[in-house]
Amino acid sequence: MPPARTLLVLGLVAFAAGSRVSLQTAPAEASYSGGTTATGSKPGAARQRSSDSMVVVSAKEHALVMQDPATGARTAFFRVGLSPDSVAITEDGRTAVVTNRGDQLSGNSICIVDLHATNLVRTIPLEVTRQNPDQSITTRSYHRPSGIAFIPGKKRVVVSCEVEGALLLVDLVEARVIGDCLLEANGSNAVVVDHSGRFAFVANRDSGTVSVVKLDRMRLVKSIEAGGGPAGMALHPVRNEIWLANTQTNSISVIDVDEQEERLEFACGAMPSDIDFTPDGKYALVVNMQEGNISVFNSESRRIRTLVDLERVTREQALARPVTMPGHFGRSPLPTRILMGPDGKHAYVATRRSDQLHEIDLSTWKVVRTMPTATAPTDLGWSRVGMEHQLETSSVVETSEARSAGEKKPR
């Protein structure tokens, strides 16, 4: 997750600009038994506490929904932009930033959401204003924001925009875009920031490439050829490499972060849509959307450890939610996202055809629980809602509010 990580291959999601948030109350191997958390894993890969809550992005409910992972109960509902797509969450799990993709070309904003409060911090338009040599002012808007990721140690995020094929640098304190980079590519979606925080890697689904952007100057430094339809990405928590899911060629590309090149490509299941690593990096879990299962790979040997099957939808459910893209999906529940649990012993998979979360025990590689979730889930994250300072806002929220003191909050 991912870190947190964005795929929108279904072509089913309609989005609009954000509104104010409201809160409505291979060879056999030994089983995995968890491991130490390392930096670079998706948000939430830390020691589990009873206060951890799942954050689910709902495309159909136009909201962020919080769920108790122990009971499956919905605990909070934040209305954001129409059909939001991706979410990035601060390391303390208290502030979320969500992309408002919009309907066709209309989405061009992100929302900052305080997960501990009842209101939106603010909506930030994705536009850049520049003064021309003749002193005239030009404003450029960017549309259909897709992938989003925090820069380590900073109150800044990078956001990919599909329409223009661009990567934006957004300062959450100043609440504005402070840098933009055209990627010379099409279908820009998932984005990952490397361990150093110096480079961003952007998957370009329609171009079949990965763009490398140097963040201090927002400059495109390289385009890496990848497999067909690159989408979901994950940064290995220990090694300096990125795994990339290629939806059209049913393969995984391994990108060497230091050399900024594809090291190898190997086969996986049908239409991989997302990837996450166990906290120690030993295993990679790959979501196969078309087959409706999870491939578990040994990340060192790249050999498959096992397949985890997800519950199929009924014939009636499949007919009610047809897939508008090539390929035979049968009764696949259409898994789209995977996220490691905070305890490092479980993983959670969101399925958008059945509106469910599937909990996988990493010691047995079995689905141990299935629970209802928000309608058409598109992304997952973790929030630590029960911390002792839960009534305070996070530093991002406090500073942003201080900057906007005296301003009327957006409606």
Interior angle at CA 145, CA 141 and CA 149, nearest 5: 120
Please tell me which residue, 325 or 315, carries the higher pLDDT value.
315
pLDDT digits (tens, 9 = 90+) for 256-312: 999 999 999 999 999 999 999 999 999 999 999 999 999 999 999 999 999 999 999
Q: Which pLDDT value is given to residue 381?
A: 96
Please say if the pLDDT value at position 376 is more than 70: yes
What pLDDT, on the 0 to 100 scale, is given for residue 396?
63
Count Cβ atoms within 10 A of the Cβ of residue 206 and give its class: 0-12 exposed, 13-18 middle, 19 or more buried: middle
Structural contact between residues 91 and 43, judged by C-beta atoms closer than 8 angstroms: yes
pLDDT at 38 over 70: no
Q: Which of 137, 126, 111, 107 is nearest to 180 (CA)?
A: 126
Q: What is the pLDDT of residue 146?
A: 94
Chain segment 99-145, per-residue pLDDT in tens: 999 876 678 999 999 988 756 778 999 999 988 899 899 999 999 99
Please give the structure tokens belonging to residue 404. Answer: 């906007």
Tens of pLDDT, residue by residue over 133-188, are 998 999 999 999 999 999 998 999 999 999 999 999 999 999 999 999 999 999 99
Would you state the pLDDT for residue 342?
Answer: 87
Q: Compute the average pLDDT of residues 50-59.
A: 86
Q: Which residue has the higher pLDDT, 102 or 351?
A: 351
Q: CA 192 to CA 230: how far, in whole Å?
A: 13
Q: What's the CA gap between 114 and 145, in Å, rounded?
A: 20
Which pLDDT score is estimated for 59?
Answer: 86
Segment 51-64 shows an average pLDDT of: 90
Give the long-range contacts of residues 61-66, CB within 8 A, separation 24 or more. Answer: 61/374, 61/375, 61/376, 63/374, 64/21, 64/96, 64/98, 64/113, 64/115, 65/373, 65/374, 66/115, 66/383, 66/385
Phi, psi of 171 (to 5 degrees): -90, 120
pLDDT grade for 372, boundaries at 50, 70 and 90? very high
Rounded to whole angstroms, how far apart are CA atoms 251 and 272? 7
pLDDT at 25: 32
pLDDT in tens, 68-108: 988 999 988 888 987 899 999 998 888 999 999 987 667 89
Rounded mean pLDDT of the chain?
Answer: 83
Cα(165)–Cα(327) distance, integer angstroms: 26
Q: Is the pLDDT of residue 28 over 80?
A: no
Q: Which of 16-25, 35-44, 372-381, 399-408 has the lowest mean pLDDT?
A: 16-25
Q: What pLDDT, in 10s, does the model give residues 221-269? A: 999 999 999 999 999 999 999 999 999 999 999 999 999 999 999 999 9
**pLDDT over 90 for what percent of the chain?**
66
385 token code pair: 């809602």
Could you tell me the pLDDT band of residue 337, with boundaries at 50, 70 and 90? very high
